[in-house]
């Protein structure tokens, strides 16, 4: 439990976190600040101030996630060249080492945290199997641009077409600069 004592008050931190999560979910799903404020029971100005407090920067942020990637260092270099804000790439061995080194609960918690983090991006470039692409597109509320690496289940590392990825990142960067202006 996340309780904080302030003088005579006992504040339930989890309740505050849940309210903020609900507020941000309403906004991310297209609800207005007033809609979110009414549903949470706060003033609209609170919603505006909360968004300003949490805003990392204006414009569209881009994430790149992919596995199992044979040429991950080349892909990571390309992502750096294009100023991608978040990169998570794994080859097949790293992917299985990651999964097998965690308990089921720990794995679920880390995947849920990754989903929460990716919700904050305007665009996510996802490199993976057909099944994983469908799953990611159904979960994330942002733009998902996918490069399919094959039919699920993928076994072994897959080479990513750097020319295709370069074209995608160029297009997203150009759109990002339009949004930031």
Same domain, 10 and 83: no
What is the DSSP code (8-state) at residue 154?
P
Residue range 114-169, pLDDT digits in tens: 999 999 899 999 999 999 999 999 999 889 999 999 999 999 999 999 999 999 99
Same domain, 171 and 111: yes
Total count of domains within the chain: 2
Same domain, 125 and 157: yes
Q: The CATH number of the domain where 168 resides is what?
A: 3.40.50
DSSP sequence for 69-124: BTTHHHHHHHHHHTT-SEEEE--HHHHHHHHHTS-HHHHHHHHHHHHHHHTT-SEE
Same domain, 105 and 157: yes
| pTM, full prediction | 0.66
Same domain, 99 and 176: yes
Domain that residue 89 falls in: 62-180
126, 148 contact by CB (below 8 A)? no
Same domain, 48 and 113: no
């Amino acid at each position: 439990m996340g309780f904080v004592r302030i003088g005579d008050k006992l504040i339930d931190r989890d309740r505050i976190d849940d309210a903020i999560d609900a507020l941000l979910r309403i906004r991310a799903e297209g609800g207005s600040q007033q809609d979110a404020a009414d549903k949470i029971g706060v003033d609209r100005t609170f919603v505006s101030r909360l968004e300003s407090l949490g805003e990392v920067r204006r414009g569209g942020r881009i994430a790149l996630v992919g596995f199992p990637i044979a040429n991950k260092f080349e892909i990571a270099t390309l992502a750096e060249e294009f100023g991608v804000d978040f990169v998570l790439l794994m080859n097949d061995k790293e992917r299985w080492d990651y999964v097998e080194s965690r308990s089921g609960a720990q794995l679920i918690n880390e995947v849920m945290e990754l989903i929460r983090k990716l919700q904050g991006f305007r665009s996510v470039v996802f490199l993976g199997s057909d099944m994983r692409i469908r799953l990611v597109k159904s979960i994330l509320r942002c733009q998902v641009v996918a490069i399919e690496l094959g039919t699920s289940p993928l076994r072994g590392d897959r080479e990513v077409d750097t020319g295709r990825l370069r074209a995608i990142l160029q297009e997203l960067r150009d759109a990002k600069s339009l949004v930031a202006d």
